């Protein structure tokens, strides 16, 4: 995809490779093609149902990368395919902010939001139809239902919809209680395509209320505002559905504390530490939350990146004798 080799990409897909596979920086084939201005490959990938809104490890979308490099034909293709121009990077920059020139900015600014929404829905319907075409057995139907439940839980979490998420989890509890011999069809521990649980996603998007709910539901004694719930009975199904592991790792070994520091969310970091998050757990790159909090040089921008509030939270945690990190979490 980086080289614009359409035939090679087709060959890999014919062998069964996942359309939205990512590299070590979470770049998809679509993102690489967009970054390098390969309009024919971009057109092919979006026609196959490639997701134009998958973000890299630093939050850059395919549209962001195309706009940065001034690939206007690709920018137009992505917008017409449902690319969301409102998505921001970890540094709070969007495609418009980094657009190479005024023409690129105008393309982004003048594209109707209603058309973006319509294109996103069209893509969703297209993928749904492809899924349904492959359904043959009851097992296929059950697998699809679980996948749809997972997608709904992930979306509710990313959107910060606390009431909607709790309502869906409660529905899953009731369903599981009605069929106690079956495993719940969805839980807080479902994982997106990057291996992130709902807690990871709440931390990443700084949804403090959702993170608090996930951390305290099965451990109400941690929640000072809900003391009256301390002694309430809880079914096994409810415990399984709401279980959230504070030190669970995503697909690249990041635990929630490291994610909080990476996104410079000090309030979230403190909440996690209070519930047993361990900031010494290293990810696949050998970095832990304590490492990420240290000042470092951003080679691309030639500036020092600092996270003083997160560093202060971790310094206080160490000064207190690291009481919260028990290594397990859950």
> Per-residue pLDDT tens for 218-236?
876 555 444 444 456 789 9
- Collapsing DSSP to helix, strand or coil, 247 comes out as coil
Both tokens assigned to 287? 């970095």
- Collapsing DSSP to helix, strand or coil, 238 comes out as helix
For the segment 190-215, the average pLDDT, to the nearest whole number, is 94
Cβ atoms < 10 Å from Cβ of 2:
14
Residues 6+ apart with CB under 8 A from 64: 87, 89, 93, 94, 95, 98
Q: Which contacts of 104-110 are long-range, i.e. CB under 8 A and separated by 24 or more positions?
A: 104/67, 104/70, 104/72, 104/75, 107/72, 107/75, 107/76, 107/79, 108/63, 108/67, 108/75, 108/79
* CA pair distance 165, 158, nearest whole angstrom: 10
Do 260 and 272 meet the contact criterion of CB atoms below 8 Å apart?
yes
Both tokens assigned to 13? 């897909």
Query: In this predicted structure, what is the pLDDT of residue 300?
Result: 54
Share of the chain above pLDDT 90, in %: 57
> Per-residue pLDDT tens for 104-132?
999 999 998 888 888 888 888 887 787 77
Query: In this predicted structure, what is the pLDDT of residue 152?
Result: 94
Q: How confident is the model at residue 95 (pLDDT cuts 50, 70, 90)?
A: very high
Query: In this predicted structure, what is the pLDDT of residue 327?
Result: 43
* CA pair distance 91, 148, nearest whole angstrom: 31
Both tokens assigned to 272? 């996690």
Residue 94 pLDDT greater than 60, yes or no:
yes
DSSP state of 147: H
> Per-residue pLDDT tens for 290-326?
999 998 766 555 566 889 999 999 999 998 877 644 4
Query: In this predicted structure, what is the pLDDT of residue 89?
Result: 87
| Mean of pLDDT over the chain | 87
Query: In this predicted structure, what is the pLDDT of residue 190?
Result: 96
| Better pLDDT: 2 or 173 | 173
- Ranges 24-28, 66-70, 114-118, most confident: 66-70
* CA pair distance 61, 312, nearest whole angstrom: 31
Query: In this predicted structure, what is the pLDDT of residue 303?
Result: 66
E strand map for the chain: 296-298, 303-305
Query: In this predicted structure, what is the pLDDT of residue 133?
Result: 75
> Per-residue pLDDT tens for 260-277?
999 999 999 999 999 999
Supply φ then ψ for residue 303, to 5 degrees: -135, 155
Structural domains of the chain in order of their starting residue, each with its CATH number: 6-121 (1.25.40.20), 137-244 (1.25.40)
Cβ atoms < 10 Å from Cβ of 206:
15
Query: In this predicted structure, what is the pLDDT of residue 213?
Result: 97
Residues 6+ apart with CB under 8 A from 41: 1, 4, 5, 6, 9, 29, 33
DSSP state of 229: G
For the segment 136-158, the average pLDDT, to the nearest whole number, is 86
Taking the mean position of all CA atoms in its chain, how far away is CA 249?
13
Query: In this predicted structure, what is the pLDDT of residue 177?
Result: 93
* CA pair distance 6, 324, nearest whole angstrom: 51
DSSP state of 87: -
Sign of the alpha-carbon torsion through 247, 248, 253, 258: negative
| Better pLDDT: 37 or 141 | 37
């Amino acid at each position: 995809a980086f080289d614009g080799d359409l035939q090679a990409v087709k060959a890999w897909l014919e062998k069964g490779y996942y359309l939205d596979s990512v590299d070590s920086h979470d770049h998809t084939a679509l993102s690489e093609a967009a970054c390098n201005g390969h309009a024919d490959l971009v057109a092919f990938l979006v026609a196959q149902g490639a997701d134009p809104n998958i973000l890299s490890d630093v939050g850059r979308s395919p549209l962001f990368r195309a706009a940065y490099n001034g690939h206007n034909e690709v920018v137009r293709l992505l917008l017409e395919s449902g690319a969301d121009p409102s998505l921001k990077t970890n540094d709070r920059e969007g495609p418009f902010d980094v657009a190479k020139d005024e023409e690129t900015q105008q393309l982004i600014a003048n594209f109707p939001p209603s058309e973006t929404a319509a294109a996103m829905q069209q893509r969703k319907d297209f993928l749904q139809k492809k899924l349904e075409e492959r359904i043959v057995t009851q097992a296929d139907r059950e697998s699809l239902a679980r996948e749809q439940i997972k997608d709904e839980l992930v979306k509710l979490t990313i959107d910060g919809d606390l009431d909607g998420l709790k309502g869906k989890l409660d529905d899953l509890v009731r369903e599981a209680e009605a069929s106690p011999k079956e495993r719940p069809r969805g839980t807080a521990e479902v994982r997106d395509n990057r291996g992130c649980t709902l807690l990871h996603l709440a931390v990443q998007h700084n949804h403090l209320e959702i993170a608090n709910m996930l951390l305290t539901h099965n451990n109400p004694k941690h929640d000072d505002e809900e003391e009256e719930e301390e002694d309430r009975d809880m079914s096994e199904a409810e415990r399984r559905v709401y279980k959230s592991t504070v030190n669970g790792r995503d697909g690249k070994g990041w635990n929630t504390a490291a994610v909080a520091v990476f996104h410079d969310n000090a309030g979230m970091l403190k909440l996690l530490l209070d519930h047993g998050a361990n900031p010494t757990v290293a990810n696949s790159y050998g970095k832990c939350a304590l490492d990420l909090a240290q000042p470092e040089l951003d080679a691309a921008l030639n500036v020092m990146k600092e996270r003083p509030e997160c560093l202060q939270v971790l310094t206080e945690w160490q000064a207190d004798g690291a009481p919260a990190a028990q290594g397990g979490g859950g």
